[in-house]
Homo-oligomer: A and B are copies of this chain.
Amino acid sequence: MSAVASAVRPRPVTAHRTPGRPRCDVTHKAVLDAAFALLAEDGIGRFTIERVAARSGVARSTIYRWWPSKGALAMEGFLAAVAPEIAVPPSGSAARDLREQVKRFARLLRGTVGRIIRGIIAEGQSDPETVAAFMDGFVTPRRAEGSAILQRGIASGELRADLELDLVLAGLYAPLYVWMLLNESLDDEKVERLTRSVLAGCLAPSAEAASD
């Protein structure tokens, strides 16, 4: 189970509440907001629990009670703010959907969210829990979305049936991560070239002519 999940500790709706004073949601929210803001403003380098506490007005000890590590806190703050932001409106064409999705993703990485993701990945290199939380909370859902698009394309005959979905998605997304991490440009033109190049190998023979 990832750190985030354990931190959230979803209240059982079932029957009797746990004893003791209930957790204060306002506090919880304030911490996550502050975490997100700090991450967005200064990056992981200046992200400290002390500053989150100061900014959120929540006691340091309270933060330590609920988050096991800096990474977990960063991760949860990130998710709380970003999670709903990435939705994919399905059109008729899988190729077009993918292109759109990748373009959006690149735009995300170029902005504030990218800065935060960089921090989380960095933090994760010395804390596996953080990576796990990032996988569960962000990477896997994103992959599921991509996978869904690909499968629709295969079902409709637009894409080849023998695609290895994980590899196609890796080919589309991994370069974006790496470019971001290595401070290389992520401009639309480059991303567009990448998408086209990967998609070229994915189209079903019959549909190949119509690709662009």
Contacts and interface: CB of A to CB of B under 8 A. Distances in A.
Nearest to A127: B45
Does more than half of chain A's interface fall in helix, strand or loop, or is it mixed? Answer: helix
Contacts of A45: 125-127
Number of copies of this protein chain within its complex: 4
A177 interface: yes
Given A45-B127, A125-B44, A164 B193 contact: yes
A181 interface: yes
Interface of A: 43-46, 118-119, 121-128, 131-132, 134-135, 139, 164, 167, 170-171, 173-175, 177-179, 181-183, 193-194, 197-198, 200-201
A102 to B, nearest CB: 13
B183 A128 contact: yes
Nearest to A171: B171
Given A125-B44, A125-B118, A174 B183 contact: no
A181 B128 contact: no
A81 to B, nearest CB: 19
